A = this chain, B = another copy of it.
């Protein structure tokens, strides 16, 4: 039956394609009668205008991409964090009649698709200043919103959490429970990156409490589930005298708790654990996880807003950087340091 085009509509409605187009775009140059007639024909013929043709004219695709760098070769990450985020983006995009392409990229990626598809914008997750991906994206000259990237260029649009405060809150909570030997599972700490900021918050809390900083307490292992799991051995090393661990992701915290459990160490009785993200399932873990909470889906929403601001060049937010608040969600994986602890570790 072939696709119905604007020409078909024009013929059937006895008007020119110009007029149909004007009706389509509510240009206001058309008489009410004509509008009615054309609309009816459009309805009858189930006409929907070709996006390709429009894009070709307007150099706009109404298409944005969420770009997520791979960790593992060729496969995106398990962490449900990304799913929540993408859901937020999808929701935000839908409200603005935009479609979202999901894209995993590695360092080989040429990003030619951005030009090819005339993408309206990019939402880039988890890159950093030294990343080759970051450099390529910059040279693209396309509207971008960077998430969790702490880029120094003030002209870039960015959205991130108040990571320093997150690091501070989690640490402070543990300190208030009497913990003094607080380990950190950070993931790779890059100058000015997310982990770095959280680490700074940790340092501030420790210093405020007059607690010494011990590099032995900091583990830069990946904060994946398996990474947390594997860290359990280190954490329980008696010489470290660790009574609490702050893991910079919920999936990592889950792995750690599992690992500790298998080593016969109970959470929170023997070791307290704090996570980061507040994934949907943390409330259902055993024990439920004390964690630093963020509204991940909301971030996705705001990312779309910020992208549109940039495209339309009218700032809805005060600045090009949007910092979202975090809060501490206290659950059952943290407890006061137990008096018998030191004895246990003594032998």
Residues of A at the B interface (CB closer than 8 Å) are 3, 48-53, 55-56, 59, 61, 63, 74-76, 78, 80, 82-84, 86-87, 90-91, 94, 99-104, 112-113, 115-118, 225, 229, 251, 254-255, 257-258, 261, 280-281, 283-286, 288, 297
Interface of A is mostly: helix
Cβ contact within 8 Å between B280 and A261: no
Contact A78 to B84, CB < 8 A, known contacts A52-B61, A284-B255: yes
Q: How many copies does the complex hold?
A: 2
Contacts of A51 in B (CB 8 A): 116-118
Cβ contact within 8 Å between B115 and A3: yes
Candidate in A99, A254, A284 with the most chain B CB atoms within 10 angstroms: A284
Chain B residue nearest in CB terms to A61: B52
Cβ contact within 8 Å between A258 and B286: yes
Contacts of A297 in B (CB 8 A): 75
Candidate in A48, A118, A297 with the most chain B CB atoms within 10 angstroms: A48
Contacts of A257 in B (CB 8 A): 284, 286
Cβ contact within 8 Å between B59 and A3: yes
Q: Which 7 A-B pairs have the closest CB atoms?
A: A83-B83, A52-B55, A52-B56, A80-B80, A258-B284, A78-B280, A48-B112
A43 to chain B, nearest CB (A): 12
Cβ contact within 8 Å between A118 and B50: yes
> Out of B50, B102, B288, which one reaches A56, CB within 8 Å?
B50
Contacts of A49 in B (CB 8 A): 116
Chain B residue nearest in CB terms to A94: B104
> Out of B102, B261, B288, which one reaches A102, CB within 8 Å?
B102
Contacts of A55 in B (CB 8 A): 52, 55
